[in-house]
Structure 1
Amino acid sequence: MRILLSNDDGVHSPGLIALYEGLQGLGELHVVAPDRDHSGASNSLTLKRPLTVEEHPNGFYSVDGTPTDCVHLAVNGLFDQPFDRVVSGINTHANLGDDIIYSGTVAAATEGRHLGLPAIAVSLVNDGRFHYDTAARVIATLLKFHKPMDLGPRSILNVNVPDLPWIELSGFRVTRLGSRERAEGAVPMTCPRGKKRYWIGAAGNGGDAGPGTDFHAISQGYVSITPVHIDMTRHQVMSSLRDWVGALEDSSGKTQ
């Protein structure tokens, strides 16, 4: 099995190194990651300049671009042989609920899925103890399980791991995405040249965080495993929206 590892925290991230070390023996591992932190990059691609790829002494490759760039280049040009799957992480902080919209970690996994590969995004719900080894063991456990699972097209697993020793985990839970409350306000500051600048405010706490959500599972010490489907169509409102648009056409005189 050939496994591509990537992330959004950068090629030197301790989470990526822990993931690489924790998956030893499970297959042929290759690392292609951003040359610096690209947290919050989402699925952005670099399209207006060429990208530089550098090989490091440990065999990792870095790209002066986004997480999506890294996976795209790795699958579509850097290597002669195809990959079997993509694992993105271990992210330094949680990717719960609405976080996945912004997450470069999840974006690297979804790019792998767009290119036809099974993919997992893994994040540590960090409380300052940095149990990356636990998160790496969680992914190794998922990959070693003998029973294959097919999520179907355009789907990935979003895995969040409590910041606990392996022995203290409560278990595994299949969850849905919760949602956060409104983010805190932007934080103004003044730069040394007297210009006003702003920090983006901190993410809100879990708003929809009840039983069954990724937030709730983590709060109870469980690993949260959420199947994420990249089709963002709101299928449940298609019928009512067609009726509404039909009425709109009638009122505007656009129907014959």
Structure 2
Amino acid sequence: MRILLTNDDGIFAPGLEVLEKIARTFSDDVWICAPAEEQSGAGHSLTLGRPVRLRQHDERRFSVSGTPTDAVMMALRKVMPGKPDLILSGVNRGANLGDDVTYSGTVSAAIEGALAGIRSIALSQVYAAEGMGDRVPFAAAEAWGAKVIAPLLGLPFAERTLVNINFPPIEAAAVQGIRVVRQGFHDYARGSVVEGTDPRGYQYFWFGLHGIEHTPGHQTDLEAIQDGYISVTPLQLDLTHNASLAQLAERFA
């Protein structure tokens, strides 16, 4: 089985090392193509206004000067000798839950794989404390990663779908199990914007990663993580709101 690894935290991210360990439990034919620098929040963006540079680090390890989407496209079109059987994106440093999947470069790399007709899985390690940087513990992802991926390998994915996996911010032994759940919805009205002044006296704003509440009481990825479970969520790329089609068609009849 040929596996492509990518992420949005960059080629030297600790989570990518964890993902490589997980991938090598399934195959020795592992390829890596990831952004040269962190691209968190890049979403499904594609670099169009400047050239993308490709750098080879060893026989099967490459980085690109662009987004996670760029990395997957370059891997499929310029790097790999043949189409991979599986694309794994992550392990992201931080959650990709609820509506946040639309911002996520990690999930978007898996989206690009799904668009190419390749079984694609995004993996993220949630963490509880702020300001941890590269000290985020990946124990849950490292211990449970292969266990969660294995049942998905023999499962046929529907066209243009992917699977989004999140690991709770607890020790591996404390994980309660695995829940297959739907995508949740954040209350973005409670999100934060941190304001400050730089050393030269200019005002700046920084989007906060905390303080976003959600409504408990329903079975979504948000509640699964809160309850100490690994969340497994199938995502589809068709964003059409089918229930509105007839109503809109009447307006333009």
TM-score by length of 2: 0.89
Q: Is the 8 A contact 1:98 1:178 kept in 2?
A: yes
Structure 1 residue 195: Cα displacement:
2.5
Q: Does 2:114 align with 1:113?
A: yes
Between the aligned residues of both structures, percent identity stands at 37
Q: CA RMSD in A?
A: 2.0
Q: Give the corresponding residue for 2:172.
A: 166
Say which of 132, 147, 155 aligns to 1:149: 155
Q: Does 2:62 align with 1:61?
A: yes
Aligned equivalents of 2:207 and 2:147: distance in 1? 36
Structure 1 residue 147: Cα displacement:
7.0
Per-residue CA distance 1:26-68 (angstroms, 9 max, x = gap): 1111111111111000000111222111122595211110011
Q: 1:98 to 1:21 in 2, by over 3 A?
A: same
Q: Give the corresponding residue for 2:79.
A: 78
Q: Secondary structure at the match of 2:252?
A: helix
Say which of 229, 243, 253 aligns to 1:236: 243
Aligned equivalents of 1:201 and 1:133: distance in 2? 25
Structure 1 residue 131: Cα displacement:
4.0
Q: Secondary structure at the match of 2:98?
A: coil
Q: 1:126 to 1:29 in 2, by over 3 A?
A: same
Aligned equivalents of 1:184 and 1:22: distance in 2? 34
Tell me which structure has the larger Cα radius of gyration.
Answer: 1
Q: How does 1:241-256 map to 2 (within 5 A)?
A: 241-246=248-253
Q: 1:204 to 1:243 in 2, by over 3 A?
A: farther
Aligned equivalents of 2:136 and 2:153: distance in 1? 30
Q: 1:245 to 1:226 in 2, by over 3 A?
A: same
Q: How does 1:1-256 map to 2 (within 5 A)?
A: 1-27=1-27, 28-56=29-57, 59-128=60-129, 130-145=136-151, 148-182=154-188, 183-246=190-253
Q: Is the 8 A contact 1:151 1:227 kept in 2?
A: no
> How many aligned residue pairs are there?
246
